[in-house]
Amino acid sequence: MSTWLVTGGAGYIGAHVIRALQAAGMQPVVIDDLSHGLAHRVPEGVPHVRARIQDRAALATAIREHGVTGVIHLAALKAAGESVEKPLEYFTENVGGMIDLLEVMKAEGVRNLVYSSSAAVYGTPAENPVREDAPLVPENPYGETKVVGEWLARDCGAAWDLSWVALRYFNVAGAGSDDLGDNSVNNLIPMVFAALDEGRRPQIFGDDYPTPDGTCIRDYIHVVDLAEAHVAAARLCEDGQAADVFNVGRGQGSSVREVMDVISGVIGTDVNAEVAPRRPGDPPATFAATDAIRERLDWSSSRGLEDMVSSAWRAHTLER
């Protein structure tokens, strides 16, 4: 049986990846220092090493003790805005952490890596849908660290027999069950819920973009679909020498206004969003070309926006 170490497995996405691995008959092991994660997200029976990935001794012990055959690397700082204020922290955590991980994987003979990348590597794409071979022009330190992470995977793949896949996630949303919601307030849907909790009107940052309704367009992907893409990527790594980068999105854009409308429908009351000025660095539109992942991983999304919003809302109401 293959055993996959999930770094950041107590996080929002990691918790779903663990369950997808289990459903596929693969054994997960978690390393997470709980700096941003929640212990209850790691299911009973799944080993959880509470340590930083920078703790090389703990990492090596976890790999040896559990017979780890591959790593799904999600542990990272992820707030693009914060990264502009704290570039050194982002490079230290995201790039430094990945170097520590790769060193230990090399020493311990672990040859399979699935890496969490992001659509942030594209910055403002010149064309949509954006293809994997589009220029990488990240617009903040967070996106830069994700580009460097991809380079590290690629360069180690060339230097030794590391089989790797980088997944560039688009806008992740939804919950696989009511106890696994996104508790961070970085993405649109949790931001709207947070505003409603506080009795504020949710904000639309700019309605004068060159898009059909003037608001920004993004590609929303259900976290359960995303988790399943990790299983497909893990299998590709195991099947031979993979060196691949894939977008993970639905290949379809939804505008901020459309999302607000779906939220209003789900919660049964108009969220009454107000228009605020544009935020610097928000591209008008980003959505994924999904041919590569469909063809090579035989993966495509099956869950829509309504499902993302309603599952996120159920998880949010439970959390309150």
Give the binding site for ligand NAD (CB under 6 A): 8, 10-14, 31-37, 52-54, 74-76, 78, 93, 97, 116, 118, 169, 171-172, 184, 187
Residue nearest to ligand NAD (CB): 11
Beta carbon of residue 204, minimum distance to ligand NAD (angstroms, whole number):
19
Beta carbon of residue 260, minimum distance to ligand NAD (angstroms, whole number):
18
Beta carbon of residue 24, minimum distance to ligand NAD (angstroms, whole number):
19
Structure tokens at 267: 């919660």
Among candidate residues 35, 130, 38, the one with its CA nearest the CA of residue 79: 35
How distant, in Å, are the alpha carbons of 75, 111, 252 from that of 183?
16, 33, 25
Between 3 and 183, name the residue whose CB sits nearer to ligand NAD.
183
Between 32 and 144, name the residue whose CB sits nearer to ligand NAD.
32
CA–CA gap between residue 307 and residue 222 (Å, rounded) = 8
218 sits in which H/E element: strand 217-218
Between 207 and 282, name the residue whose CB sits nearer to ligand NAD.
282
Beta carbon of residue 114, minimum distance to ligand NAD (angstroms, whole number):
11
Beta carbon of residue 269, minimum distance to ligand NAD (angstroms, whole number):
26
Among candidate residues 37, 27, 38, 12, the one with its CA nearest the CA of residue 223: 12
Between 178 and 207, name the residue whose CB sits nearer to ligand NAD.
178
Find all residues with CB under 8 Å of 111, minimum gap 6, and list them: 70, 105, 161, 162, 163
CA–CA gap between residue 210 and residue 247 (Å, rounded) = 24
Beta carbon of residue 78, minimum distance to ligand NAD (angstroms, whole number):
4
Find all residues with CB under 8 Å of 307, minimum gap 6, and list them: 174, 222
Active site residue 220: no
Name the residue type at position 314. Answer: R
Centroid of chain to Cα 151: 18
Between 7 and 69, name the residue whose CB sits nearer to ligand NAD.
7
Candidate list 115, 142, 209, 220, residue with the active-site label:
142
Active site residue ranges: 142
